[in-house]
Amino acid sequence: MYTNEPNDLGVVFRKTLGHYTVHTHGRDIDCELSSRIHKQLIYPSADPSSLRHRVMSVREIDHVDPVAIGDQVRFVEAGAGRGLIVEILPRRTRLSRAMPVPGQRVFEQVIVSNADQVVTVFAAAHPTPKWGLLDRYLVTAEAAGLPSLIVITKTDLAAQNPDLEADLETYRRIGYTILQISSVTGEGIPELIQALRGKTSVLVGKSGVGKTSLLNALQPELGLRVKAVGQGDVGKGRHTTSHLQMFELDFGGHLVDTPGMREFGLWNIAPEDLAYLFPELSARVGRCKFGLGCRHDHEPGCAIRQAVTAGEVSPYRYKSYLNLRSEL
């Protein structure tokens, strides 16, 4: 019945159960999903080999949504700001995590599609950074083929974390870009604007690190809700941001705010590929005594362990590698 209508293109900015906010030409359209897409449950992807046509059981369907934030969709307008999504265009990139469902299996959750870069957010203090989580984000971004930017927030509290500079130096040496920002004093905001301009970026980081505060600092008129000072322990209480949402930046580009994610399981990474996703390890893969068969654990003549001993690779990053590998 809609086929005679010209279809419009838009981008999914936000979603709540069964409803998708599709942004098009500066307007938001409240869309539902055509039953055809629901039935087919095809995951469009830039990689044609990963197209899945398999019919899932009803129980499984509860845990997957064929539409992700960032998807380019074709929709038909039904008037009064409402519409129906009829097609999801192939994804250029996708940032995914593993979502285990007890008693079932592990599902892929596409956090954001078509992003250009991942912005990993950690606070200088409150909460104290846990770098193992950063390594998890960096590996996920590398696996998705996306560059990462490390943003340290709350630099006005940096005096409370005497280890910060030495810790960051590890990542600087690997080649990651680090920006230090305070949403309170405005330090680092011009550099952040420079790094975000014209790109679609995704903020990832645990609850309370100040992701939404960054958005407010960049674009005060958004007036987004952030955790009130003194509202329980930062990072322990309820998440302040409850939904993934994409925002258009006045200076050009898009930024996706995410709720702090407690679990961030690696999705679809083969154990033997993990070392390639650590830039400082990848060049050493294949130089071990056991060649490509080396797991870089207790094997004799391991080039990667030798590099750790020689001080060329950070022992923390190596430990992260072993931790993540044990999960795969």
Cβ proximity of 162 and 178 under 8 Å = no
Measured torsion, CA atoms of residues 81, 84, 88, 89, in degrees rounded to the nearest 10? -50
The span of 66-74, 82-90, 203-211, 311-319 binding ligand GTP (CB under 6 A) equals 203-211
If one asks whether residue 207 binds ligand GTP (CB under 6 A), the answer comes out as yes
Residue 140 binding: pick among ligand GTP, Mg ion, Zn ion, none (C-beta 5-8 Å cut-off by kind)? none
Q: Which of 21, 114, 153, 241 binds Mg ion (CB under 5 A)?
A: 241
Nearer to ligand GTP, 110 or 192 (CB): 192
The span of 11-19, 86-94, 221-229, 270-278 binding ligand GTP (CB under 6 A) equals 221-229
Q: Where are the beta strands (DSSP E) in 82-228?
A: 82-88, 94-100, 106-113, 117-123, 148-153, 177-180, 200-204
What six digits make up the tokens of 170? Answer: 């590890």
If one asks whether residue 191 binds ligand GTP (CB under 6 A), the answer comes out as no
Q: Is 98 helix (H, G, I), strand (E, B) or coil?
A: strand
Q: Where are the beta strands (DSSP E) in the chain?
A: 8-16, 19-24, 27-33, 72-79, 82-88, 94-100, 106-113, 117-123, 148-153, 177-180, 200-204, 245-248, 254-257
**Dist. CA 320–CA 123, nearest whole Å:** 20
Q: Which of 241, 245, 314, 320 binds ligand GTP (CB under 6 A)?
A: 241
If one asks whether residue 161 binds ligand GTP (CB under 6 A), the answer comes out as no
What six digits make up the tokens of 240? Answer: 């302040």
Q: Which of residues 191-230 bind Mg ion (CB under 5 A)?
A: 211-212
Length of the chain: 328
If one asks whether residue 180 binds ligand GTP (CB under 6 A), the answer comes out as no
Q: Which of residues 279-308 bind Zn ion (CB under 5 A)?
A: 288, 294, 296, 302, 304
**Dist. CA 131–CA 324, nearest whole Å:** 13
Residue 207 binding: pick among ligand GTP, Mg ion, Zn ion, none (C-beta 5-8 Å cut-off by kind)? ligand GTP
If one asks whether residue 121 binds Zn ion (CB under 5 A), the answer comes out as no
If one asks whether residue 157 binds ligand GTP (CB under 6 A), the answer comes out as yes
CB of 291 to Zn ion, least distance (A): 9
CB of 173 to Zn ion, least distance (A): 21
Residue 288 binding: pick among Zn ion, Mg ion, ligand GTP, none (C-beta 5-8 Å cut-off by kind)? Zn ion
Query: What DSSP designation does 315 have?
Result: H
How does 105-129 read in b/e, with b if 16+ C-beta sit within 10 Å? Answer: eebbbbbbbbbbbbbbbbbbbbbeb
Residue 213 binding: pick among Mg ion, Zn ion, ligand GTP, none (C-beta 5-8 Å cut-off by kind)? ligand GTP
Binding site for ligand GTP (CB under 6 A): 153-154, 156-157, 182-184, 205, 207-213, 226-227, 229, 234, 239-241, 259-260
Binding site for Mg ion (CB under 5 A): 211-212, 240-241
